[in-house]
Every structure is written in structure tokens, then in C-alpha cells.
Structure 1
Amino acid sequence: MAQVNAIKTKHSHHEHSGTRLVNAARDALTKAGEQWTGMRESVFAELARHDRPVSAYDIADNLSAARGKRVAPNSVYRILDLFVANNLAMRVESANAFLANSHPGCQHDCIFLVCDECGEATHVDDDEISRKVRAIALERGFKPERPVIEIRGLCKACAG
């Protein structure tokens, strides 16, 4: 299973991959009081094997082919929304796509560098920027729930 590129700045956590990532996601979700079902495990495992943002439709298509029966994209969307709410996955808003969180359950805001050429999404952890963004919202009487910052452009490989 591939991982998302991550740049860590003033935020430390243990990165998981492969079976450990699926197990960490299961543990985080059950700790949050949610059930870890076979379908949720299948959706998470499919999500985690991608190193680029993937849509709910792609996940549904891949699971349908693997199971030999149709998996509805709406069901996948509901599961992905649960994963995002519980910090098991991150949503790249501008692409309407998702990435597995390589450190499930770790609470932080999403900052993405998204390549318009190859689709790579690099996740950046920077608690100082997150605090500032949340403070700006609060100063204006807005209660921030899930800040997401996306910077679109070209990754190093595509720009070079």
C-alpha cells in the first residue's frame, strides 16, 4: 500500500503503512465508538493502496470488480465521510477525492500541495499555520470545524 507524500513541520506522529495502517485505522475508529465492518475495512484498504487522491467512484468500481457484485458509490461516500470525520482519511476538496491518513486518529488540519499535472497531493503538517487559520476564523465569529488549505500548482518532478 502506498503512502501520501508528507512534509512534517512542528507536528510529530507515527506514520503507518500496509497492514499496520489498516490496523491503526481500525483501532482509531473503534476507539471513537464506531464499528469496523468488513465493508469499511475494504473501503479503507482500497483507499490506502493509492498514493494519489482517489474518488469514491474509483473505489466503488475497484471493490465491485474485486467482489464480483456492484458496490454503490453512495455507500462508499458515506464510509469516506465517516473516515474523514474520524481522521482516518483526508479529503482533497478541489479534486473531490480522498487519501488515507497515514497516522489515523491524529487530529490536525489539512494543508495540501496538489500537482495539476500528475495529481500528486503532498500533505503538509504545520500546527503554527493551522493555529493562525483557526484564530482568524474565530476572530470573525466563525467556528472552524475542518480547515483545509490547498495550493494548486506543479510538483517538483513536473515543474522540472
Structure 2
Amino acid sequence: MVHVHHSHEGDSLAGAAASTMVRSGEQWTAMRAAVFDALASFDKPASAYDIADKVSQAQGRRVAANSVYRILDLFVSANLARRVESANAYVANDHPDCLHDCIFLICDHCGQATHIDDDKLSSGVRAAARQAGFSPDRPVIEVRGRCGDCEAG
């Protein structure tokens, strides 16, 4: 079965994130919008501290990383963001209206993380976990190596 994503960027991404959050029964507050905008502005996975710094600069007041962590946890549960487990960092999900398991390709040289969707692979991981008597809630697959740009350079 072929699944086509409608990827968002810029204002379209912020609008899709806000709509997804409201549909999940949560409010889209000014602080949540600021955190999401900061997260979406990074071209690599960003830590809560990176995001807190960016929001603090934009607002001219200190925003605590603990507050950002709580918002990021909410974003992950609402499918607005993905957590790169090995880096304790986050990326904005450019198609928040589609739910897939995470498969990240992480470049050890430049830090870039590419998120791909392969339901066949992740469903195999889920099946293997169930066969071992384990109930998989959120499979995350991370492949570390070199991206095409770094490999070529």
C-alpha cells in the first residue's frame, strides 16, 4: 500500500501543528507556538536547551529548559515532533497528520538526521517484539553513519 505524505513547511507547518494539537484536545498557546517555531527553525535535531535559548532570545526573557522539555514531550505524544533518542534531541514532524514509527538516519559527521517512513520495516520490528512476548508502544530505529553529502565530501 502506497502512502503519500503531505509535507508542510513554514506557515503551513505551524498551521498543521496547531490544528493537530487542537484536534488532540490540547490548546495551542503562545508558548507552545514559540517552542514549535524554534524547533522547526533548526536544520538538525535540537536539544531542549537549544530551543530554550532560541525562544529566550526571541522573547527577550529567559525560558527554562524544563518548560521546553514538558512542551516537547507533549509535541512527541501529539505527533508534532520526533525525538532522536541517541542524541536526546528533537525534530519537527513535517507531516503531523500522519502517524508512523520513527526511522532516523543520523550522520555521525555533520549531525544531520533524516526521518524516513518504512512501515514494512517497523511493522517487522513490532511483530518480532510481540513474538518475544513484548508489547511495543513506540519503536524507534536509528541508523548511524555518514550522509550522502559527507560521504561525497
The TM-score with structure 2 as length reference comes to: 0.96
Among the aligned pairs, what percent are the same residue? 61
The Cα shift of 1:12 comes to 2.0
1:118 pairs, out of 110, 135, 142, with 110
Change (3 A) 1:10 1:110: farther
3-state SS, counterpart of residue 142 of structure 1: coil
2:43 pairs, out of 48, 51, 58, with 51
3-state SS, counterpart of residue 6 of structure 2: coil
The Cα shift of 1:105 comes to 3.2
The Cα shift of 1:31 comes to 0.3
Structure 1 CA distance for aligned equivalents of residues 135 and 43 of structure 2: 32
Gaps of 5+ in 1: 1-8
Figure out how many residues of one structure are paired with residues of the other and give that number: 152
The 5 A counterparts of 1:1-160 are 10-160=2-152
Structure 1 CA distance for aligned equivalents of residues 86 and 3 of structure 2: 24
Gaps of 5+ in 2: none
Amino acid at match of 1:75: S
Structure 1 stretches of 4+ with a deviation exceeding 3 A read none
> For residues 14-52 of structure 1, what are the alpha-carbon distances to aligned partners after superposition, in whole Å with 9 as ceiling and x for unaligned?
000000100000000110111111100000011111121
RMSD: 1.2
